[in-house]
Amino acid sequence: MSRQDHGTGVESGADTGRQGSDTVKQDTDARASSKGRGDVVVPALGVVGSLRWAWTQLTSMRTALFLLLLLAVGAVPGSLFPQRPANPAVVTQYLQDHPDTGPVLDWFQLFDVYSSVWFSAIYLLLFISLIGCVVPRARAHFRAVRSTPPRTPRRFSRLPVHGTVEIPAEAARAVGLTPSSAAHQAAAVLKKRGYRVDVRDDATAQPSVGAERGLAKEFGNLVFHISLMGVLVAVAIGGLFGYTGQKVVVEGDTFVNTLIGYDSFSPGSNFSDDRLEPYSVRLDAFDVRFDREQESNYGQPLDFTANLTTQDGPGAEEEQQILKVNAPVTIGGTNVYLVGNGYAPVVTVRDAEGNIASEGPVVAVPSDGLYTSLIVIKAPDAQPDQLGFVGFFLPTAFVDEEGVSFSRDPDPFNPQLNLNSYYGDLGLDDGTPENVYVLDTEKLNELNSRNNDDGGIVLSVGQTYDLPEGKGSITFDGLKRYIALDIHHDPAKAGAFVFAMLALFGLAASLFIARRRLWVRISGHDDGSIVAEYGLLARGEDNRLQDEGLMVRKLLEDRWSVPEGTTGEYRVQEAASSAAGTGQSQNTTKDN
């Protein structure tokens, strides 16, 4: 509610505010202050009354503002604590590291903030409050659009901007101007300037024009708030019917869009298997380019390009496609994104009996920009003991003064495996799901390590290492690259986009369009001269009302060929109605 409006006391309405409830509140305030707060007797409300009271409270501006700020505060913990949807492993780790506080935080759903009961409660209440505000306002706006501009006030002197234009008698006679024709001409001028106009009392000696513009401001406001609800609905639909999954694909391998094809998969609540279209994606080659020109950024990645062969379904035609960061491939109702990459050393593990226990590329997880990667190799088929390896893959291995190996470059100039080896029960047979990138070595027997006599295993491409105690061997056959893919299906994406754009336009309209009312009253004087009185009123904040007053004045003066600023008066009302303004309107009333 803008204070300028209160000052004029003619009419008050907040365009960014909640008209209905605020008006009610003002009345209440006025009543309370006139009676004195202590005298108010609170009547029994009853069930319906209580509900009505609760609804009024919920839809009041103050509550909405409170909920809005609460929403901001409520969102913050989600950035302070690890979140399950984004990082389930980190949450598990956090709970392990903080056995005392972790479960308490978990009870408060601080690891699932954005799906928590309390966060949902805040935004649902906010949106209910929003509906409770938007519906009456939409109705009021609908009425406003259909109705004629408001009635002409008796005294313009109370309007924040007002003035008069006088048409001298001879000028009026020359063109045969009457008060009625002057009113119609003023209406035409205002209409051209974008006002809705209504000429009233044009048969009387004092016709007037009511004009209004900027209804799009309120329309924009409504569009903005309704569109926000639309975005929320689109997000909900996406959550119900969409799905998202991850898959790591090594060069030469193929991903098929079926449930078992995924490494991890998060279906929406209404997901069913038949929503997956069985397309396939093969990674033919993955090209990486690093900065080699600049010393300061040497080795910084410049380009990742995945060359794919895709098939829309079994038996469909093969298609070559390029996948890059920021440029997903669209296929089978999904988008496929390049979200990571790394090296997959090709390794063969033989067991004590000389049989191949494990063979093929093993995905190594990069831990820094130089692709120093963690690698875990599991050979559960090895006989008589299962074998496991944990260590590092270094694309360009160097040894520092202390004998520690490290990678100096992200490109594979000197690829090397540095491994510890273990034997025993890898714990894969009891059916519990295991992270393929982690090996729990606690219950295993150590074979090789930097700390024991046999030392760690160091392998370059083509080399084989025979494990101690005749447990088998490991060979570093070669090197491939892999890419990490995110596959997303969100059927409501377009809806969210459309509503977001509508919200943006609505917001701009509601903030930048000025809603103004303007009246012109024409009076004919006895001497033949004609006086046009005009007054302007803004609804909501409007810092250009004065300029508009001047502009309208100039347009009217031009229309009636009155030399600019020679006659009449122009006045800007500061706060309360000024004495001079009152005198002005009394003058014109006298001639009535």
Q: Which residues contact other proteins by CB under 8 A? A: 1-3, 14-18, 22, 25, 61-62, 64-65, 68-69, 71-72, 75-76, 78-79, 83, 85-86, 113-114, 235, 244, 291, 293-294, 296-297, 300-304, 324-328, 335, 337, 339, 486-488, 490, 493, 496-497, 500-501, 503-504, 507-508, 511-512, 541, 543
Rounded (to 5) percent helix, strand, coil in the chain: 35, 30, 35
**Residue 289 buriedness (CB in 10 A; 0-12 / 13-18 / 19+):** exposed
Cβ 582 to other proteins, closest distance in Å?
24
CA distance 410 to 372: 8
Interaxial angle between packed helices 545-559 and 179-192, expressed in degrees from 0 to 180 and rounded to the nearest 10: 130
What does the block give as tokens for 125?
């209440």
DSSP state, residue 272? -
Cβ 226 to other proteins, closest distance in Å?
15
- Cβ within 8 Å of residue 59, ≥6 positions away: 18, 21, 129, 132, 133
Nearer of residues 68 and 95 to other proteins, judged by Cβ: 68
Cβ 225 to other proteins, closest distance in Å?
11
* Residue whose token pair is 């070669």: 478
Cβ 326 to other proteins, closest distance in Å?
4
CA distance 461 to 416: 7
User: Which residue from 424, 404, 419 is spatially nearest to 345, judged by alpha carbons?
Assistant: 419
- Cβ within 8 Å of residue 374, ≥6 positions away: 364, 365, 367, 391, 392, 393, 437
Nearer of residues 77 and 361 to other proteins, judged by Cβ: 77
Cβ 429 to other proteins, closest distance in Å?
35
Cβ 295 to other proteins, closest distance in Å?
9
User: Which residue from 412, 530, 553 is spatially nearest to 169, judged by alpha carbons?
Assistant: 530
Nearer of residues 293 and 442 to other proteins, judged by Cβ: 293
Contact of 407 with 374, CB cutoff 8 Å: no
Nearer of residues 34 and 79 to other proteins, judged by Cβ: 79
Cβ 34 to other proteins, closest distance in Å?
17
Cβ 297 to other proteins, closest distance in Å?
4
CA distance 414 to 404: 15
What does the block give as tokens for 267?
């279906």
Nearer of residues 244 and 523 to other proteins, judged by Cβ: 244
Cis peptide before 384 (omega within 30 of 0): yes
Nearer of residues 409 and 557 to other proteins, judged by Cβ: 409
Cβ 385 to other proteins, closest distance in Å?
39
Interaxial angle between packed helices 117-146 and 215-241, expressed in degrees from 0 to 180 and rounded to the nearest 10: 140
**Residue 372 buriedness (CB in 10 A; 0-12 / 13-18 / 19+):** buried
Supply the Cα-derived Rg of the chain in whole angstroms: 38
Nearer of residues 290 and 398 to other proteins, judged by Cβ: 290
User: Which residue from 539, 542, 577 is spatially nearest to 12, judged by alpha carbons?
Assistant: 539
Q: What is the dihedral of CA 323, 326, 327, 331, to 10 degrees?
A: 80
Contact of 167 with 216, CB cutoff 8 Å: no
Nearer of residues 391 and 506 to other proteins, judged by Cβ: 506
Nearer of residues 82 and 528 to other proteins, judged by Cβ: 82
Cβ 72 to other proteins, closest distance in Å?
4
Nearer of residues 240 and 508 to other proteins, judged by Cβ: 508
Nearer of residues 67 and 444 to other proteins, judged by Cβ: 67
Nearer of residues 297 and 435 to other proteins, judged by Cβ: 297
Contact of 328 with 334, CB cutoff 8 Å: no
User: Which residue from 422, 421, 366, 423 is spatially nearest to 395, judged by alpha carbons?
Assistant: 366
What does the block give as tokens for 142?
């609908």
Nearer of residues 2 and 405 to other proteins, judged by Cβ: 2
Contact of 20 with 26, CB cutoff 8 Å: no
Cβ 373 to other proteins, closest distance in Å?
19
Separation in Å, CA 85 to CA 44, 78, 116, 241, 266: 48, 11, 12, 17, 9
Cβ 66 to other proteins, closest distance in Å?
9
Query: Apex CA 422: angle with CA 421 and CA 425, to 5°?
Result: 150
Cβ 457 to other proteins, closest distance in Å?
32
CA distance 434 to 441: 13
Nearer of residues 154 and 544 to other proteins, judged by Cβ: 544
Cβ 303 to other proteins, closest distance in Å?
6
Could you count the other beta carbons within 10 Å of the beta carbon of residue 414?
Answer: 15
